[in-house]
Amino acid sequence: GNSVTQMEGPVTLSEEAFLTINCTYTATGYPSLFWYVQYPGEGLQLLLKATKADDKGSNKGFEATYRKETTSFHLEKGSVQVSDSAVYFCALSDLTGGFKTIFGAGTRLFVKA
């Protein structure tokens, strides 16, 4: 079945540091890949997505590239801010799974001033 594996947290960085959160997936079909962010006490917000191989999703300085050869969708940001502190979820969804979204375990990011 489909699954998503992402790096364990928490990740603690200083402001303006470079961020990478690794994500790999297993899928039987051709999934769309997503990064969601969840701030404390809130619901999910879609951060970015990519629907096919080699697509790059980007939003608010975050980027992730759909790598089919390595089945990866790593999240990166060149310079994090304190306001980026949140939990980040990598996820996939595809037709063979009935479009249900499968989430990774989540990675908690703390950014210090």
Strands (DSSP E) along the chain, which ranges? 3-6, 11-14, 19-21, 23-26, 32-38, 44-50, 56-59, 62-65, 75-77, 86-93, 101-103, 107-112
Q: How far is the CB of 22 from another protein (least distance, A)?
A: 16
State the binding string over 20-59 for another protein (x if CB under 8 A, else -). Answer: ------------x---x-----xxx-x--x----------
Q: Does 73 bind another protein (CB under 8 A)?
A: no
- Tell me how far apart the alpha carbons of residues 87 and 92 are, in angstroms, rounded to a whole number: 17
**Environment class of 9 (CB within 10 Å of its CB; exposed 0-12, middle 13-18, buried 19+):** middle
The footprint of another protein on this chain (CB under 8 A) covers a number of residues equal to: 19
For another protein, the binding residue among 21, 93, 94, 111 (CB under 8 A) is: 93
For another protein, the binding residue among 3, 12, 56, 105 (CB under 8 A) is: 105
Q: Summarize as ranges the residues that interact with another protein (CB under 8 A).
A: 32, 36, 42-44, 46, 49, 89, 93, 98-106, 108
